[in-house]
Amino acid sequence: MVLLYNDDCTDILRHMEDNSLDIILTDPPYGIEYLSNHYKDGNPFSEIIGDDEFPAYLIPEFKRIAKKAVFVFCRWDNLIETEGLEKPKSFIVWVKNNWGMGDLQHEFGRMWEGILFYPCEEHEFEKRLPDAIHCDRVPASQLVHPTQKPVPLLEQLIRNNSKPGDTVLDPFMGSGSTGVACVRSGRNFIGIEIDETYFDTAEKEIKKAQNQLSLL
């Protein structure tokens, strides 16, 4: 089952029942990646809605809805915004194969991103992973979203913390990478994306993954 909403997730989350799905795995807006000088010929992507605020206030809502686990991508400088909230059980580090730009004069090259991990009442590892995961980023030539996360990374988190047939929600789905990971791993997927262009991209990417699967 795949269910996609082109909407503001804050409205939809409010109407979801307690413990109504298994995993929330999401990558909310949390920086100014889209504005980076990464692109030689100008940035081909539209601005990310809400990129000026990390929505830490939604974490208690995610925990209310998920039965097994909540994973939220962030950067180290978003941690201050989680002060006063429940402490995550792990801070997973996704180590990339190359560095990002950032401030070339006064900042070390950024080579990793963080993932806050909150186990919920029914959490059980299928397989326990270390808290540093090495995975190549999506090559620039293949990007369909400016902050696209690699499907193999998402697939590892899903496969090792849920069972086939479980349901995963990504309320900030961007290009639908979490949905593609769910299709490949046999999990149900609910995705929400506010931006119509990125919503259309996600729909296409998930459909492509479903078609590839049916050809196997």
Q: Does 175 bind ligand SAM (CB under 6 A)?
A: yes
For the chain, what is the HEC assignment?
CEEEECCCHHHHHHCCCCCCEEEEEECCCCCCHHHCCCCCCCCCCCCCCCCCCCCHHHHHHHHHHEEEEEEEEECHHHHHHHCCCCCCCEEEEEECCCCCCCCCCCCCCCCEEEEEEEECCCCCCCCCCCCEEECCCCCHHHCCCCCCCCHHHHHHHHHCCCCCCCEEEECCCCCCHHHHHHHHHCCEEEEECCCHHHHHHHHHHHHHHHHHHHHC
Residue 87: CB partners within 8 Å, gap ≥ 6?
none
Q: Which residues are paired to 130 by β-bridges?
A: none
What is the smallest separation between the CB atom of 152 and ligand SAM, expressed in angstroms? 12
Query: Minimum distance between the CB of residue 149 and ligand SAM, rounded to whole angstroms?
Result: 4
Q: Which residues share a beta bridge with 69?
A: 23, 119
> For ligand SAM, which residue of 62, 71, 94, 172 counts as binding (CB under 6 A)?
172
Candidates 9, 25, 65, 70; binder of ligand SAM (CB under 6 A) is 9
Q: Which of 78, 80, 79, 86 is nearest to 59 (CA)?
A: 86
x-or-dash string of contact with ligand SAM, 48-77, rule CB under 6 A:
xxx---------------------------
Instruction: Report the residue number whose CB is nearest to ligand SAM.
Output: 174
Q: Which stretch binds ligand SAM (CB under 6 A): 3-11, 74-82, 104-112, 161-169?
A: 3-11
CB of 2 to ligand SAM, least distance (A): 16
Instruction: State the minimum distance, in angstroms, from the CB of residue 191 to ligand SAM.
Output: 9
User: What would the x/- binding string for ligand SAM be over residues 130 to 169, using CB under 6 A?
Assistant: ---------------x-xxx--------------------
- Letters for 193-212 (x = contact with ligand SAM by CB under 6 A, - = none) are xxx--x--------------
Contacts to ligand SAM from residues 80-99, by CB under 6 A: none
Q: Which residues bind ligand SAM (CB under 6 A)?
A: 8-10, 27-29, 48-50, 145, 147-149, 171-172, 174-175, 177, 192-195, 198
